Copies of this chain bind each other. A is one copy, B any other.
Amino acid sequence: MDAIRPLPEYLVKRYHGWKATTFAENKSWYRRLAEEGQRPRAMVISCCDSRVHVTSIFGADQGEFFIHRNIANLVPPYEPDGAQHGTSAAIEYAVTALKVSHLIVLGHSGCGGVQGCYDMCEGKAPALEETSSFVGRWMDLLRPGYERLEAGEDAERLRALEKQAVLVSLENLMSFPFVKAACDEGMLKLHGLWTHIGEGGLETWDPEARDFTPV
């Protein structure tokens, strides 16, 4: 495995800087977290996109959020078929082992995965339709959201699809028996968010208004 190399020097330097400052100043908390284990209040499902930092937006520190990040913050439906479902495993662990109180799905503007899904559903991205396309098959999860889009301008429909990525995930979450049970017992709340990267906006799904509204 020739391609495996030591860490680039600039990251090594930054790490040593962190160790000597942030770590040194919070050592006792990190030790407790190590000894007693994590006890996060919430799980967040957000996108891998380098521009989306949920810990920054919420001023969170070590130990606060259990975070799963995948392309387009998607949750698949409940399928206990014995296959490998990384997202479902993360949700199961958060809800049944860690017993988080909140489960937040965070979508965002300018999502490359959602764009790919939109193009694919419009018939403009044949490469994504191939069996061998992991991104294409993953984005199939969002097809039910595409089906619900109203007619309109591409830009508007794309924005709507970004928000559907949150709604479809919330719906799929409720198909997991352990999620539903925790919700029914009042032990778990779900939250749907969408952030506008360029404007720093944050909208939350309001189940009464049946729309996303600014936080």
Q: Which residues of A contact B (CB under 8 A)?
A: 1-41, 43, 48-51, 53, 55-71, 74, 76, 80-94, 97, 99, 101-102, 104, 109-110, 112-113, 131-135, 137-141, 170-171, 174, 180, 182-184, 186-193, 196-200, 202, 204-207, 215
Contacts and interface: CB of A to CB of B under 8 A. Distances in A.
Nearest to A6: B204
Contact of A55 (B55, B80, B171): B55
B50 A62 contact: yes
| Dominant SS among interface residues on chain A | mixed
A52 B62 CA distance: 7
Nearest to A135: B89
Nearest to A77: B84
B23 A51 contact: no
Contacts of A193: 7
Given A48-B94, A89-B139, 18 more contacts: A6-B191, A6-B204, A6-B206, A7-B193, A10-B59, A18-B56, A18-B57, A22-B56, A34-B198, A38-B50, A48-B67, A50-B63, A81-B131, A82-B131, A84-B85, A86-B87, A89-B113, A97-B135
